[in-house]
Structure 1
């Protein structure tokens, strides 16, 4: 069996695992990503879709169907809202840190600045920002 693409990103990337409720939710999330793309990339973030529809963006990781099912189960997608596993209920976004731990969950409309604010308090991110400042000062 091939290595899990999400596990392969541990210590390299932060991940937003998502499931969208509709095409309109897809368009809204895509617009938010386009608005905040530089900030997204600066924080080493990638998207992983575990439902339908997909964002269809460059910063995404593809999963096979069984991997999507497994990650929806692991992250309890749909359980917070009482929705079915894949299709009904609010859109969900789960932030996973570089250490592989679940850091935050958003239901409904995506608020990337909220994720960014949380990421910017994490020890690994603080080290990254300090290193970036030191590098720029040279």
Structure 2
């Protein structure tokens, strides 16, 4: 009986954490990739208001520290994470974050310790697709 339970448990957990690539998020989510330097807390304090702003913009974030931190259940293969580091970090020793639009293109890249949420949300809100979303939701001009 115990032998049957373990495979069922592992199978159900595998579905909870889905390994993906960024291509699978294209046209669904804006993506924030965060590559912190050692011993940094780039995302700062996440409160309800910040989470609401993140969710309103269809954004998922991934912090690639010692372990992956995200506001989603997605995860990445270790080799794929190294490919992301090579592509977006480009040799810097500083903390780095990159905003990808729903089209998958890089929209903002910063080398700094903490995320500037005001700049990040301003960049997103200036995107044509986001402006259309705000008009449709009655939140834009």
**Do the two structures share a fold, i.e. TM-score over 0.5?**
yes
> Which residue in the other structure is 2:135 paired with?
130
> Which residue in the other structure is 2:27 paired with?
11
Structure 1 counterpart SS, 2:43: helix
Q: Structure 1 residue 119: deviation in Å?
A: 0.6
Higher Rg: 2
> Which residue in the other structure is 2:85 paired with?
72
> Which residue in the other structure is 1:86 paired with?
none
> Which residue in the other structure is 1:52 paired with?
65
Q: Structure 1 residue 9: deviation in Å?
A: 0.4
CA RMSD of aligned residues (A): 2.3
Do residues 98 (structure 1) and 102 (structure 2) align? yes
**What's the TM-score, normalizing by structure 2?**
0.74
The correspondence for 2:121, drawn from 108, 116, 122, is: 116
**What's the TM-score, normalizing by structure 1?**
0.75
Structure 1 counterpart SS, 2:26: coil
Where do residues 17-56 of structure 1 align in structure 2 (5 Å cutoff)?
17-23=33-39, 25-26=40-41, 28-31=42-45, 33-34=46-47, 36-49=50-63, 51-54=64-67, 56=69
Give distance in 2, aligned partners of 1:44 and 1:119: 10
Q: How many residues align?
A: 120
Give distance in 2, aligned partners of 1:3 and 1:62: 5
8 Å CA contact retained: 1:46, 1:60: no
Q: Structure 1 residue 74: deviation in Å?
A: 2.1
Q: Which runs of 5+ in 2 are unaligned?
A: 1-17
Q: Structure 1 residue 48: deviation in Å?
A: 2.3
